Amino acid sequence: MRNLIPPYDRPPLSKQLLSGAWDPPRLALRSPAETRTLGLDMRLGTAATGVDPAERLVHLDDGTRLPYEFLVVATGVRARRPSVPGADGTDGIHVLRTLDDALALRPRLRAGRRLVIVGAGFAGTETAATARALGVEVTLVERSALPFARVLGDTVGGFLTRTHRAHGVDVRTGVSVTGVQSRPGGRVGAVLLSDGSMVRADDVLLAVGSVPNTEWLDGSGLDVEDGLVCDRFCVAAPGVYAVGDVARWHHPRFGTSMRVEHRTNAAEQALTVAHNLLRPDRPRAFAPVPYFWTDQYDVRLQAYGHPRGHDQHVLVEGDLARDPSSSPTEPATGCPPSWPPACPRARCAPGGKPSPPAPRGRRPRPRRPPRGPSRRTPPSRPLTWRMPDHAGPWSVLACPGSGVGTRGHGP
């Protein structure tokens, strides 16, 4: 991929950046001065087109052949663009994966305009919440019966559906898009659904997943299967590592291969790979408890573990059956917008300020998830649980804005 923009944080794209609360400079992971101190040879606007692991050479699109001792593949993913009749060449069709994507959509989100979002995953539902706060009329189209049900179960999926409907989103589940109608002049005018209905639209956001950026590895001999396949040390071949959304590695704790598209996973995986590069005599397996979060309206939903494939979801905190319209209007947490930090085990102290790290050489004792109902955590404080390093296939879900949490048992 060719990227002209220095590294930036992506989670705010669908929230603070899209709402206009933040401007692009605030997304930078490091200031220009901090980047200069690293002494990087950062070649923005230059794409890798191939790699020769035997010769340890990376081929660039400007004709350069770049030798390496170690190669870290961190090419991430791109937004999936499904083939929709009538969508090609129609103005007003969007995806949301990059800063440019968000900046193209942001000026379109004005009160009274109509936005159709196809796909009720993280990007789709977060954008729906942001757009509704701006006064946009939102229709959310999801092929499944409930948003997030495949990952988090019907109970949580139903809660999120009710929450969006309570905030004025027209949620249409169990249907798919069959076509797009354009107006004179080539702008989108309506979306056709599989149930025969038509939804008027000024803009359409396609939020239907992503595709790993691995095409440049074709012919390299590296194992590519929905990402770059690695072992538990994130090694794809001698001298070749992968990190982030593009990495499919063997997770020794869960005993399966997985690819995780969450910010905290990318940050922790990079730390592990950096250690393994510097200490090849003492490599560390990458075996985190996966973590993700999403902010929608007054709800912050957090999950630890590998939620897919569970046969049971147990409520441990709050009431998922309550009326979502009764939620407080304040944000789900008093933490700063950058919370949570890269390490998901960090906690927030009262008042929303991140707790200081433990002194070097002393690690706080991890705690198991609560096994039953406990007192409700006030909405101004995030509800998080720490997972022990020896944890098995558990997952923990928390919705502190509503005082909701669930715990899933692995099969």
Structural domains for the chain: 79-210 (3.50.50.60), 291-411 (no CATH)
Instruction: Report the percentage of the chain scoring pLDDT > 90.
Output: 62
Q: How confident is the model at residue 322 (pLDDT cuts 50, 70, 90)?
A: low
pLDDT at 323: 65
Residue 81 near residue 97, CB atoms below 8 Å: no
Q: Is the pLDDT of residue 205 over 70?
A: yes
Q: Is the pLDDT of residue 332 over 70?
A: no
What average pLDDT does this structure show over 304-322?
66
Range from 29-33, 256-260, 328-332 carrying the lowest mean pLDDT: 328-332
Query: Kind of pairing, strands 188-193 and 177-182?
Result: antiparallel
User: Each residue of 343-387: pLDDT tens digit?
Assistant: 333 333 333 333 344 344 443 443 343 333 333 333 333 333 233
Q: Is the pLDDT of residue 399 over 50?
A: no
Q: Is the pLDDT of residue 206 over 60?
A: yes
pLDDT at 346: 35
pLDDT at 383: 30
Give the predicted TM-score (pTM) of the model: 0.79
pLDDT at 16: 95
Q: How confident is the model at residue 300 (pLDDT cuts 50, 70, 90)?
A: confident
CB atoms within 10 A of CB 218: 11
Distance between CA atoms of residues 338 and 340, nearest Å:
6
Percent helix / strand / coil, the chain, rounded to 5: 20, 25, 55
Q: Which helix (H) or strand (E) holds 267?
A: helix 263-278
Q: How confident is the model at residue 298 (pLDDT cuts 50, 70, 90)?
A: confident
pLDDT at 309: 64
User: Each residue of 146-163: pLDDT tens digit?
Assistant: 888 777 778 888 889 999
